[in-house]
């Protein structure tokens, strides 16, 4: 046990000597807390006398921001609305040169057949902010030309259903009475847990790489057992991850739910967080145990780093289960997902933060996850006996079999 703690202490002290560790230690809680203040920042930005920034998604406005002309050679437009009509192209071009208008559109004589239209401007570009307005102008005038107000109205809104009977069930991912702020808070905590899993995995692989590169793994394996070595590494990293998680959650508790208008993530309930932390810890241990297995089976460092990248993507998959939980947190599929060990470490905290969970479900989920974590740790320690990370060792199926059952 003493050796296990020695390995853990060395692992912790190594990271405490890195300035990058302190950067991430401070950055993550700050970012996590800052999300709570976003609505206030957004409100301040709206009130600030700054011009709005145009993006490719702001092209749907049918309001003109500057004067624009129209030359209607097809004789389709009856109401020019916000546009300035010109009878000839020459007159419009002259107005453009004088700066009376920013651009002008020419509706070709055969427009109904070809649909062709040209916009002339001094600086032509693919995306023009007056295109939506000219499209609306043409659509309105074409429909008005039908001389049938009913047809125009029904083309735009074909049906207004009037129901005589009980209201139909609403098709929605989340129940109508679900507090959106609570959902945001739950999503943020689940996101934090995903981040911590990814960081923990990265630190673990780096820790193994460090020993291999320094060629000291040979020395370590003769003086410690796999349980002491892996246990020490995991204990050290677990302490660091707990520190980061604790700081982030405390920062969130201080900031969330504090906006005067009630916007932003809801306050984090202490009881739900306390019940969530064991899931994070067990999930972290199971994840790291799987990573050790990968590092042992694919001892080439770049290969294991590549697989870590793929693993990070896979670690996001349980979050898809949140979509099943949202409509009904107490449905059979929700309960199954929060008890299943591959998804429970993220989805049980998510469900706990959305609303009350029966205590027996919390306990069963924790027991199943603990068993799963124990099996993973046992497997990883057996595999570690392969000593594949030692210099000159190559992994073969026979060696794997011997390590597992020999």
Q: Which of positions 256-315 make contact with other proteins (CB under 8 A)?
A: 298, 300, 302-303, 305-307, 310, 313
The backbone torsions φ and ψ at residue 104, rounded to the nearest 5 degrees and listed phi first, read -145, 150
Q: How far apart are alpha carbons 72 and 89 in whole angstroms?
A: 9
Q: Please identify, using beta-carbon distances, which residue of 173 and 378 lies nearer to other proteins.
A: 173
Query: Should residue 20 be labelled a site residue for other proteins when binding is judged by CB under 8 A?
Result: yes
Q: From the list 10, 135, 363, 396, which residue makes contact with other proteins (rule: CB under 8 A)? A: 135
Query: Should residue 22 be labelled a site residue for other proteins when binding is judged by CB under 8 A?
Result: no
Q: How far is the CB of 218 from other proteins (least distance, A)?
A: 17
Residue 103's DSSP bridge partners are 68, 121
Q: From the list 50, 126, 176, 222, which residue makes contact with other proteins (rule: CB under 8 A)? A: 126
Q: Please identify, using beta-carbon distances, which residue of 105 and 287 lies nearer to other proteins.
A: 105
User: Could you tell me the sign of the dihedral formed by the alpha carbons of 351, 352, 354, 357, in that order?
Assistant: positive
Q: Calculate ∠ Cα 240-242-243, nearest 5°.
A: 65
Q: Please identify, using beta-carbon distances, which residue of 58 and 218 lies nearer to other proteins.
A: 58
Cβ 242 vs Cβ 19: under 8 Å: no
Stretch that binds other proteins, among 138-146, 348-356, 366-374, 385-393 (CB under 8 A): 138-146
Q: Residue 31 belongs to what H/E stretch?
A: helix 19-47
Please give the residues from 329 up to 388 whose contact with other proteins meets the rule CB under 8 A: 331, 333
Please give the residues from 206 up to 235 whose contact with other proteins meets the rule CB under 8 A: 206, 213
Return the number of other C-beta atoms located less than 10 Å from residue 181's C-beta: 18
- Matching residue, tokens 């990370």: 389
Q: How far is the CB of 157 from other proteins (least distance, A)?
A: 6
Total residues at interface with other proteins (CB under 8 A): 81
Cβ 135 vs Cβ 119: under 8 Å: no
Query: Should residue 93 be labelled a site residue for other proteins when binding is judged by CB under 8 A?
Result: yes
Return the number of other C-beta atoms located less than 10 Å from residue 316's C-beta: 13
Q: How far is the CB of 228 from other proteins (least distance, A)?
A: 26
Query: Should residue 320 be labelled a site residue for other proteins when binding is judged by CB under 8 A?
Result: yes
Stretch that binds other proteins, among 112-120, 183-191, 270-278, 382-390 (CB under 8 A): 112-120
Query: Should residue 62 be labelled a site residue for other proteins when binding is judged by CB under 8 A?
Result: no
Q: How far is the CB of 122 from other proteins (least distance, A)?
A: 7
Query: Any alpha helices (H) in 214-331, and if so which ranges?
Result: 217-223, 226-255, 270-297, 301-316, 322-325
* Closest alpha carbon to 228 in 52, 51, 6: 6
């Amino acid at each position: 046990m003493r050796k296990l703690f020695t390995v853990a202490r060395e692992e912790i002290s190594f990271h405490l000597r890195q300035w990058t560790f302190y950067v991430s230690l401070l950055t993550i809680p700050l970012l996590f807390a800052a999300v709570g203040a976003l609505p206030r920042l957004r409100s301040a930005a709206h009130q600030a006398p700054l011009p709005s920034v145009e993006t490719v998604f702001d092209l749907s406005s049918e309001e003109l921001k500057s004067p624009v002309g129209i030359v209607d050679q097809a004789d389709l437009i009856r109401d020019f609305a916000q546009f300035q009509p010109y009878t000839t192209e020459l007159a419009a071009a002259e107005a453009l040169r004088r700066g009376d208008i920013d651009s002008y559109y020419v509706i070709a004589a055969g427009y109904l057949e070809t649909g062709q239209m040209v916009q002339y401007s001094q600086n032509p570009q693919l995306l023009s902010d007056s295109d939506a307005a000219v499209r609306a102008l043409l659509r309105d005038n074409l429909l008005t030309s039908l001389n049938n107000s009913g047809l125009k109205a029904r083309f735009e809104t074909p049906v207004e259903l009037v129901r005589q009977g009980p209201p139909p069930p609403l098709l929605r991912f989340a129940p109508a009475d679900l507090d959106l702020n609570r959902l945001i808070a739950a999503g943020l905590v689940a996101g934090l847990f995903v981040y911590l899993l990814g960081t923990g995995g990265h630190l673990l692989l780096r820790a193994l790489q460090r020993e291999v590169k320094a060629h000291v793994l040979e020395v370590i394996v003769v003086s410690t057992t796999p349980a002491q070595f892996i246990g020490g590494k995991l204990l050290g990293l677990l302490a660091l991850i707990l520190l980061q998680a604790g700081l982030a959650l405390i920062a969130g508790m201080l900031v969330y739910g504090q906006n005067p208008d009630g916007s932003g993530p809801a306050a984090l309930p202490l009881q739900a967080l306390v019940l969530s932390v064991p899931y994070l810890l067990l999930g972290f241990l199971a994840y790291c145990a799987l990573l050790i297995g990968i590092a042992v089976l694919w001892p080439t460092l770049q290969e294991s780093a590549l697989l870590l990248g793929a693993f990070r993507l896979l670690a996001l998959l349980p979050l898809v289960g949140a979509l099943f939980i949202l409509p009904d947190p107490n449905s059979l599929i929700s309960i199954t997902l929060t008890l299943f060990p591959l998804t429970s470490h993220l989805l049980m905290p998510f469900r706990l933060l959305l609303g009350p969970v029966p205590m027996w479900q919390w306990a069963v989920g924790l027991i199943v996850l603990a068993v799963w974590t124990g099996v993973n740790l046992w497997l990883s320690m057996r595999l570690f006996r392969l000593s594949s990370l030692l210099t000159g060792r190559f992994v073969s199926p026979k060696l794997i079999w011997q390590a597992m059952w020999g």
